[in-house]
Structure 1
Amino acid sequence: MRDAKRKRPAFAEAGRSHDFRQFQAGTYQTGENRTSHTAFASASDLMQEAFASVRNVRQAHLDYLRALGVSPGALACLGQVQPPFGVLGVQELEGSLFEPSPVGRPALIVPVAKPITRDIQGLSIDDIAIVDLIAVRSAEPTRWLWRDGSAWALGSGLLGQNAPLRVVPTPFDWLKAGGQALCILDWAAPAHCWELLRGELALELPDGQLRNRLRNALVRNAALPPMEVAPRAA
């Protein structure tokens, strides 16, 4: 019987150092150019890699993010529900994917998480599942790589809360918002993803360019009712 509910602890940020300045180098592609593929990492792999990246974070990385406009408060807010970010050396793969590499160039790693509930000995425990990892660099904030390729957005757990939903353009903006926003990663996502957005109370966007892009995506992926030509009366 589920008569109790317990929350997870906040996630820590500590570990070995990487040169955060190297985040400014590299080329990435958005989801519109991403090709189909098979999964490269299991759920347990993703969780292990997420926490490995978090252990690489040092004060220099936090200072650099702060200079980019990501406040300690925003990271602390996000850290209450998931690992906020990490640092990994990454090797780019075909299809806008990446894999961790000890000789790869460092990149900012943003875990894509979804809320789940686990039933452990009668306790209903709030938890998360890491469904993908995003690698991005500050020099090209609108271009990123996927670890697995299955994530269509950061912050999808905010959908369906019957409140205005803030939409931001990049993972860096999502970190600035403390995770309290939606960042669309894959603009070529299946239609059912866009159907979730069509049911929102209101969408708040920072500029007309993102609004127009989102409107076009919603129209392009709108579900149409069955249509048939009625037979003519004899």
Structure 2
Amino acid sequence: MTPTDLSREIELAVKAVQNRHLGRLQALGVDSATIARLGAIQPPFGVMDCEDIGGRIYQPGGEKANIVQPVYDGGILIDIVAWRTTEPQKWLWRTGAAWALNMDTIAANSWQDEPLVIDATPLDWLRGGATGLCILNWDAPEIRTLLRVQSISAEALIARQLRGILMKPLYFPEISARSEHRNAA
């Protein structure tokens, strides 16, 4: 799936947003100013029927409407995450390429004095003003890029989970020196 295909999908999903969808997000604590601010730089969210095809991946279709959010890395759309407002702690990916929402904030935060805020779910990320980070894939090796950040602020469960991951030692292969000369044929 190309970024162009993803762009078309998110554009269609954004066009499907109705006032009732906005009202539902606002009732869940998402500020309309956050949606407007985010919408000035990227599609903030869309609505799409999504079908779970296994492996935490979805395809368009099915009978369950989901909130879908684009995921960018370096300004390039790499994935879309889908979740239901009744179960915001469960999400699916369109491609599986995204490890976090708002990845670009890591580089920006590495030189700031303010802690990087990590939200537990995409809904919490929107509730928090869409300025922090939301880890989508806790098994992704890219999570170690958070070691570049000076400080992190997260709810207790997320903080414990993140501390456990970042404190795990890296596996290093056994490295041996071989002799300098080789047999020539």
Match for residue 157 of structure 2 among 206, 209, 229: 209
- Structure 2 residues without counterparts, runs of 5 or longer: 177-185
Mapped to 2, the partners of 1:165 and 1:210 lie a distance apart of: 13
- Structure 1 residues without counterparts, runs of 5 or longer: 1-40, 116-127, 230-234
Q: Deviation of residue 51 (structure 1)?
A: 0.7
Are the aligned partners of 1:76 and 1:178 in contact in 2 as well (CA < 8 Å)? no
1:60-106 CA-partner distances (Å, limit 9, x unpaired): 111110000001011112112211000001111011110111x4311
The code of the aligned residue for 2:48 comes to L
The code of the aligned residue for 1:159 comes to I
Which secondary structure does the structure 1 equivalent of 2:130 belong to? coil
Is residue 2:36 matched to residue 1:76? yes
Match for residue 101 of structure 2 among 127, 147, 154: 154
Mapped to 1, the partners of 2:143 and 2:95 lie a distance apart of: 20
Are the aligned partners of 1:109 and 1:133 in contact in 2 as well (CA < 8 Å)? yes
Is residue 2:48 matched to residue 1:88? yes
1:173 equivalent in structure 2:
124
User: Per residue, is there more helix in 1 or in 2?
Assistant: 2
Q: Deviation of residue 178 (structure 1)?
A: 2.8
TM-score, normalised via structure 2 length: 0.86
Mapped to 1, the partners of 2:39 and 2:165 lie a distance apart of: 31
Are the aligned partners of 1:82 and 1:113 in contact in 2 as well (CA < 8 Å)? no
Q: Deviation of residue 228 (structure 1)?
A: 7.2
TM-score, normalised via structure 1 length: 0.69
Which secondary structure does the structure 2 equivalent of 1:89 belong to? strand
Which secondary structure does the structure 2 equivalent of 1:180 belong to? coil
Which secondary structure does the structure 1 equivalent of 2:41 belong to? coil
The code of the aligned residue for 1:140 comes to E
Are the aligned partners of 1:97 and 1:149 in contact in 2 as well (CA < 8 Å)? yes
- RMSD, aligned CA: 1.8
1:109 equivalent in structure 2:
68
1:198 equivalent in structure 2:
147
Mapped to 2, the partners of 1:201 and 1:79 lie a distance apart of: 29
1:12 equivalent in structure 2:
none
Is residue 2:148 matched to residue 1:188? no
Mapped to 1, the partners of 2:129 and 2:70 lie a distance apart of: 13
What does 1:32-111 correspond to in 2, within 5 Å?
41-101=1-61, 103-111=62-70
Q: Which has the higher contact order (CA 8 A, sep 6+)?
A: 1
1:180-206 CA-partner distances (Å, limit 9, x unpaired): 01000001112xx1231011011011x
- Structure 1 residues 94, 226: CA separation in 2 closer, same or farther (over 3 Å shift)? closer
1:10 equivalent in structure 2:
none
Q: Deviation of residue 42 (structure 1)?
A: 1.9
Which secondary structure does the structure 2 equivalent of 1:141 belong to? strand
Q: Deviation of residue 44 (structure 1)?
A: 1.1
The percentage of aligned residue pairs carrying the same residue is 34
1:7-45 CA-partner distances (Å, limit 9, x unpaired): xxxxxxxxxxxxxxxxxxxxxxxxxxxxxxxxxx22211
The code of the aligned residue for 1:65 comes to L
Q: Deviation of residue 217 (structure 1)?
A: 1.4
Are the aligned partners of 2:99 and 2:143 in contact in 1 as well (CA < 8 Å)? no
Q: Deviation of residue 176 (structure 1)?
A: 1.5
Q: 4+ residue runs of structure 1 moved beyond 6 angstroms?
A: 225-229
1:22 equivalent in structure 2:
none
Q: Deviation of residue 130 (structure 1)?
A: 1.1
